Copies of this chain bind each other. A is one copy, B any other.
Amino acid sequence: MVENCNAPCCVNCETRWDNFNNLNEDDLNYVCENRHIAEFQPGEIIFKQGAPISSAVFLTKGIAKMYIEGFDNKRMIIGIAKQNKLIAGPGTYVDERHHYTVSALTDVTACFIKMDVLKGFVHTNGKFAEGWLKDISEKSLKTFYRFLSHTQKKMHGRLAETILYLADEVHGSDQFTMLLSRQELGELSGMAKESVVRILKDFNEDKIIDDKCPYIKILNKDRLKMISNMG
């Protein structure tokens, strides 16, 4: 982890949290003063499940995986963190503990902002409070639907969904470098790593994707969507 104190101010930040649009320039400068920036290398832990939440975390560069360490040392990856999003999770207003671990998948620059500062705005700025409610609600809904799909879809559907998630929500492209191992893909889609391998092979043979080691390309997105929807 490397400190870096020469980052531009939040006022003009391109990668800041959407909800910061509800703050004025003075507010943003105040945020800036209570901020702390650090860099991480792939594999490094940004924060750890169970640790107290002192700061809100935002990524300004790179992506990270968020995972719960569950029973039996099994992990469940709940999503990929990226810029413009608050990464601090639902513990903030419950027990002030992180409920999942976040670790860098690429080189990551992360911005830590004292949680007390953000909590303060909730008291004085209704729009900001509303924005935060909206933020949590959206995440909650997403968790919901991932839950539903895990409960009701079979493996092919879940993996198709995961590939679409990576393409659409994480990389914004149908062709990207796969940063997750088979093990991690399994943790994200709820199956054993061997199952991931076999299903990717199926998708390859059916020319739905082209999976050449570190690169993956979606060849037949409609088909992939159909598989995802039908389970």
Q: Tell me the A residues contacting B by CB distance below 8 Å.
A: 68, 70-72, 74, 76, 78, 90-94, 99, 119, 122-124, 126-127, 129-130, 132-134, 136-141, 143-144, 146-148, 150-153, 190, 229-231
Contact = CB atoms under 8 A, between A and B. Distances in A.
B71 A152 contact: yes
B133 A230 contact: no
A164 to B, nearest CB: 15
**Copies per complex of this chain:** 2
A127 B72 CA distance: 40
B122 A126 contact: yes
B91 A148 contact: no
A35 B153 CA distance: 40
A104 to B, nearest CB: 22
A70 B153 CA distance: 10
Given A122-B129, A126-B129, A151-B150, A144 B68 contact: yes
A68 B148 contact: yes
A153 B122 contact: no
Nearest to A119: B130
Contacts of A68: 144, 148
A183 B122 CA distance: 43
A141 B231 contact: no
A139 B137 CA distance: 10
A181 B90 CA distance: 33
Contact of A92 (B94, B99, B137): B137
Contacts of A122: 126, 129-130, 133
A121 to B, nearest CB: 9
Contacts of A143: 140, 143-144, 147
Contacts of A71: 152-153, 229-231
A94 B68 CA distance: 25
Contact of A152 (B74, B123, B129, B153): B74
